[in-house]
Amino acid sequence: MNATDRTPADLLRSALAADPSRPLVTFYDDATGERVELSVATFANWVAKTSNLLQDGMSVEPGDRIALLLPAHWQTAVWLLACASVGAVADVGGDPGRADHVVAGPGNFEAGLACGGDRYALSLAPLGRRFVPSPPEGYADYAVEVPTYGDRFAPYAPVDPEAPALVVAGAEYSGAEVVERARAEAAGLGLTGPGSRLLSGLPYDTWEGLSAGLYGPLASDGSVVLCRNLDRATEDTLTRRIESERITATAR
């Protein structure tokens, strides 16, 4: 993290320059038993590919609104940072009828059809698997499309830190506001600097969930253990996870 970082994409670039091998997002799904660990480098690679998909595959320009109809998930975190990288507005749980494009997961495909722009579907299956035999009608399969895009990304237009970047729970934030608020709240979440590991079971449909589950750890050189369906985990399972993942703080 550098004092000059003004957008979430800046935070990711600084993390990549400082220590690309350290864990950034570790994801558990207690409904499927899935565990995925992404280093800063691996996460940044997914973000770069997704950013290129947005910019070249979907012709997204700064200010375009992307409705993200997705739960707390490592791929959702990728999309949030990809939107920040191109200057698009990530509208979490937003109205697809008012969005330029939509990205949807299971349970939201029908609602997403209200969007007249490009529609991408995520299976959210373990290992980011594609749909079999095909994605939902009216959607392209993210898992099929994203590997074809480049591992390096450069925006065609500079991203304005003061422009709208995120909408969640009816509140709008610029990229600079996301960074400033995440930095200010990090200590309150128990993120005290490098090595801090926050376990979050909060959904992504509030600022608090996004701060604990992505932006706070990124802004403080920490990392997040993001848990979906945490209510299905037993207390013994949670205790073992806290120990094995070297958790220093929790948000549930």
CB 78 within 8 A of CB 113: no
* Nearest Cα to Cα of residue 118 among 136, 146, 140, 91: 140
| Separation between Cα atoms, residue 37 and residue 183, nearest integer Å | 24
Q: Is 137 exposed, middle or buried (0-12, 13-18, 19+ CB in 10 A)?
A: exposed
* Nearest Cα to Cα of residue 199 among 227, 237, 234, 239: 227
Sign of the C-alpha dihedral computed for residues 8, 13, 18 and 19 taken in this order:
positive
Digits of tens for pLDDT over the chain (252 positions)? 677 899 999 999 999 999 999 999 999 999 999 999 999 999 999 999 999 999 999 999 999 999 999 999 999 999 999 999 999 999 999 999 999 999 999 999 999 999 999 999 999 999 889 999 999 999 999 999 999 999 999 999 999 999 999 999 999 999 999 999 999 999 999 999 899 999 999 999 999 999 999 999 999 999 999 999 999 999 999 999 999 999 999 999
| Separation between Cα atoms, residue 47 and residue 11, nearest integer Å | 13
